[in-house]
Structure 1
Amino acid sequence: MKRAYPVVLMAMMLDAAGIGLIMPVLPGLLREVGHIKEIGWIFGTFLAAYAAMQFLVSPLLGALSDRYGRRPVLLISLAGATIDYLFMAFAPTLPLLFAGRMIAGITGASMAVASAYIADITPEDQRARRFGHLSAAFGVGFIAGPALGGLLGEIWLRAPFLAAAALNCLNLTLAFFLLPEPERARGAGETPSLNPLAPLRWALTFPALLPLIGVFVVLGLVGEIGGTIWVLYGQDKFGWSVLTVGVSLTLFGLFHAGAQGFVAGPISERWGEKRALLIGIAADSAAYVSIALATQGWVAFALLPLFCLGGIGAPALQSLLTARVGEDHQGRLQGVLASMSSLASMVGPLVISMTYFHTRSVFPGLVWIAGASLYLLCLPLLAASLPRRTPATAAE
């Protein structure tokens, strides 16, 4: 199983690169295929379609991997993604392009299966470290993908889709020959329901899970703030050029990958996952308040390490959650978490962007302050997740 770990990381890095490859050319492709100039609502709907399918399908794929194994579900997802990128590369109409995007959301739900695989092969006390590595690998792929996609898009608008198909084909080949089925996942679990909401109902039956899932949702929503308004905020408040925006995003991605890959694990192992989570929340809150009050653009760059230290909270929380369910339900759990992330990706940008555009003339930093305030909800949720002490336990 030692060789399986780097193969999973490589698979997720290639998966993220494939997703990022097509991002720079999407607006131009939608204009070309739809024969329109203004794509505002179409572009938003196109992105939301991907998140919506992940919201529905991630729990189902996770449950299927509990029952039938991680390897077959992952291989089918990768094969489907390869075919789908080829389909979108030659889709002649807007409806077919939307259909391809929805299929991409289904096949892209493989992150839940990969997370369950990591949980299967990792001792409980090392899961925060390895979930951090998984997030870092995904981040590195997502940094490299758009850069390569931009270059290929200059050659031909549909070339990034062909490159994404090639990456997924490579991914499929690596997984087929090098990725074994983890012993703890083979044949485990009951026959899953085809109802995509069934795993969500299953999660509601675990009182110990609910507060931590609540914290997970809060972290997901707050995390959407930077992704939604970073470019707008930098240009509106600091007068950033396109080059400055690009440099800031690249540095953010590198810092974030570094923090999750090399800081999250050691802190969790030294002080425990719950303290690591609190450190991440505190760092992110401080960064949000600071950038809201900043008056010079260099401050945003100086805050990048603090922003990225906030990224250690997610792997620590994911590790805490895996300890609350049995080995035969790790896939179902990771599917639920991926579904919650997708829900945050659908709702968050809409609410955040509307709030920003309505308040930027008065105080453009209000959204950042609101994000830091939202973190306060995590404190009672974390308190509720602590084991209850009975009178007998207290007497001991």
Structure 2
Amino acid sequence: MWRQPKAVWAVAFACVVAFMGIGLVDPILSSIAKDLHASAAQVSLLFTSYMVVMAVAMLITGFVSSRLGAKRTLLLGLAIIIIGSVAAGCMSSIGGIVGWRGVWGLGNALFIATALSTIVSSAKGSVAQAIILYEAALGVGIAVGPLLGGILGDISWRGPFFGVGVLMAIAMVATVFLLPSGNVKGKPISILAPFRALRHPGLLSVAITALLYNFGFFTLLAFTPFVLEMPAIPVGLIFCGWGLALAYTSVFVAPRLQARFGTLRPVIGSLTCFALLLVVMAIFTANKPVLVICVIAAGLFLGINNTLVTEVVMKVAPVERPVASAAYSFVRFGGGAVAPWLAGKLGEEVSPHLPFWVGAGMVLIGALLLAVTRRLFASVDATDTAPAPAAGSLEEAEDLTLAEEMA
């Protein structure tokens, strides 16, 4: 699994940097609120604008990538992220940062959806192994993001935004030189394709489950730094531990659980455990050691969930993988868009305990939905023996994947 073409490693490295952006702002939320005299709900809009734009933009990723080709779409996404992150760091108002953070989300949408399908199409080994590589990149990015954000944020809250710009420029250079150029596919993907894909009951069910789970995920990510009330570096270290736990279970634990129990049971179990951790955080919101332990422990269950749910998405719907990824991401990021703002609002105006209760309830409903509709995923655990292309250009990999899906 680890002997991959240079193209796969180039995209994986860019994924690490892209996913840093999710947790990078965590340690500086309180600093931004203090320096710009903004409320928790206003600062949480940094997540909301990012996720709203990303969710909507997911609908056009297949349309764009099928016309520009994977490499050009990845480079376009990276360029937009650089512009959005650097411009956000130059702003002096919360509205300006929120606006440019939305531009950042547009770039991330173009990059993430294309990167997943590119890794799956061009990696050696099975689809499951390719997804593990993708989730490993996600986990490392999520782990390093808060740590880097804490270190740079201790100097200035603007530091993490400029840091992303520099790292994305490096990722862009790596993508230019290491990823082979592929021609535009012969059959462009319709802009309505993601909506048509959501007609498939299995894909719609898992997407709604992810939307509900994201309420808990982004409540943890966006609201916990406010109740911790710690400086940037300690918050960064806490969420780095969370990301490392997520990366470990994504790569090493999820495949073993899947081999022993199938795909659905570990997902339902991990969601239930995550909901219980949020309940503990809701009860002991004023106890910082308990919050720290729960945040890091949550990473263990989120890693299992992320890897296995992504595999379900790639297998359950009889559509092209970029279309399945775009449709799924459009729905699930809706939860990521609403949850940060709602958590900040409820925490400020009602009770700091309430956001965690709401997040726990949403995650538990997601687990129940998946349990009720599990018959839709009976084919997911079929033996995955078809390897991804071992060598050749990205264009050849895409053609082989398309032929496999048509067959």
TM-score (norm 2): 0.75
2:76 matched residue in structure 1 = 76
The amino acid that maps onto 2:188 is E
Aligned partner of 1:257 among 247, 256, 261: 247
Instruction: Measure how far apart 1:189 and its partner are.
Output: 3.9
* 1:153–1:159 Cα contact (<8 Å) kept: yes
Q: Distance in 1 between matches of 2:128 and 2:347?
A: 34
Are 1:192 and 2:187 matched, yes or no? no
Q: Distance in 2 between matches of 1:213 and 1:60?
A: 17
CA 1:270–1:289: 2 relative to 1, 3 Å: same
Q: CA RMSD in A?
A: 3.8
1:226 matched residue in structure 2 = 220
Q: Distance in 2 between matches of 1:343 and 1:384?
A: 23
TM-superposition CA deviations, 1:228-253 (whole Å, max 9, x none): 44345667xxxx89887555433222
Q: Distance in 1 between matches of 2:67 and 2:10?
A: 22
Are 1:54 and 2:45 matched, yes or no? no
2:384 matched residue in structure 1 = none
CA 1:8–1:153: 2 relative to 1, 3 Å: same
Are 1:172 and 2:177 matched, yes or no? no
Structure 2: where are the runs of 5+ without partners? 380-407
User: Greater shift after overlay, 356-365 or 306-315?
Assistant: 356-365
User: Greater shift after overlay, 105-114 or 268-277?
Assistant: 268-277
TM-score (norm 1): 0.77
The amino acid that maps onto 1:11 is A
The amino acid that maps onto 1:5 is V
Aligned ranges for residues 130-141 of structure 1 at < 5 Å? Answer: 130-141=130-141
TM-superposition CA deviations, 1:43-63 (whole Å, max 9, x none): 344432222211111221133
* 1:136–1:260 Cα contact (<8 Å) kept: yes
CA 1:356–1:102: 2 relative to 1, 3 Å: closer
Q: Distance in 1 between matches of 2:258 and 2:169?
A: 35
The amino acid that maps onto 1:276 is P
SS at structure 1 position matched to 2:316: coil
TM-superposition CA deviations, 1:149-208 (whole Å, max 9, x none): 4444455554443332221111111011111257xx951543533xxxx34422233234
2:390 matched residue in structure 1 = none
SS at structure 2 position matched to 1:37: coil
Q: Distance in 2 between matches of 1:31 and 1:61?
A: 37
TM-superposition CA deviations, 1:293-345 (whole Å, max 9, x none): 66976555665446513431222122122113457x21122122222232111
CA 1:250–1:14: 2 relative to 1, 3 Å: closer
Are 1:266 and 2:256 matched, yes or no? yes
Aligned ranges for residues 22-37 of structure 1 at < 5 Å? Answer: 24=27, 37=37
Aligned partner of 1:377 among 369, 378, 383: 369
TM-superposition CA deviations, 1:346-396 (whole Å, max 9, x none): 122344455556774898974465245323232113234447xxxxxxxxx
Q: Distance in 2 between matches of 1:363 and 1:191?
A: 43
TM-superposition CA deviations, 1:50-107 (whole Å, max 9, x none): 2221111122113322444221100111122223434444457776555433321211
The amino acid that maps onto 1:108 is N
User: Greater shift after overlay, 20-29 or 111-120?
Assistant: 20-29
Instruction: Measure how far apart 1:111 and its partner are.
Output: 1.1
Q: Distance in 2 between matches of 1:37 and 1:200?
A: 40
The amino acid that maps onto 1:115 is L
CA 1:45–1:244: 2 relative to 1, 3 Å: closer
CA 1:132–1:188: 2 relative to 1, 3 Å: farther
Q: Distance in 2 between matches of 1:150 and 1:108?
A: 22
TM-superposition CA deviations, 1:111-147 (whole Å, max 9, x none): 1111111222357x84344434423323322333343
CA 1:39–1:144: 2 relative to 1, 3 Å: same
Q: Distance in 1 between matches of 2:258 and 2:251?
A: 12
SS at structure 1 position matched to 2:134: helix
* 2:267–2:308 Cα contact (<8 Å) kept: yes
Q: Distance in 2 between matches of 1:297 and 1:155?
A: 24
Instruction: Measure how far apart 1:25 and its partner are.
Output: 5.1
Q: Distance in 2 between matches of 1:172 and 1:334?
A: 22
2:333 matched residue in structure 1 = 342
Q: Distance in 1 between matches of 2:85 and 2:352?
A: 41
* 2:8–2:119 Cα contact (<8 Å) kept: yes
The amino acid that maps onto 1:17 is M
The amino acid that maps onto 1:224 is F
SS at structure 2 position matched to 1:209: helix
User: Greater shift after overlay, 248-257 or 368-377?
Assistant: 368-377
CA 1:335–1:259: 2 relative to 1, 3 Å: same
Q: Distance in 2 between matches of 1:299 and 1:225?
A: 16
2:64 matched residue in structure 1 = 64
SS at structure 2 position matched to 1:252: helix
SS at structure 1 position matched to 2:59: helix
Are 1:116 and 2:107 matched, yes or no? no
Identity of aligned residues (%): 20
Aligned partner of 1:201 among 175, 179, 195: 195
Are 1:212 and 2:203 matched, yes or no? no
The amino acid that maps onto 1:284 is F
Structure 1: where are the runs of 5+ without partners? 388-396
* 1:284–1:310 Cα contact (<8 Å) kept: yes
CA 1:127–1:274: 2 relative to 1, 3 Å: farther
CA 1:159–1:287: 2 relative to 1, 3 Å: closer
Larger Rg: 1
CA 1:188–1:283: 2 relative to 1, 3 Å: farther
Instruction: Measure how far apart 1:264 and its partner are.
Output: 1.7
2:265 matched residue in structure 1 = 275
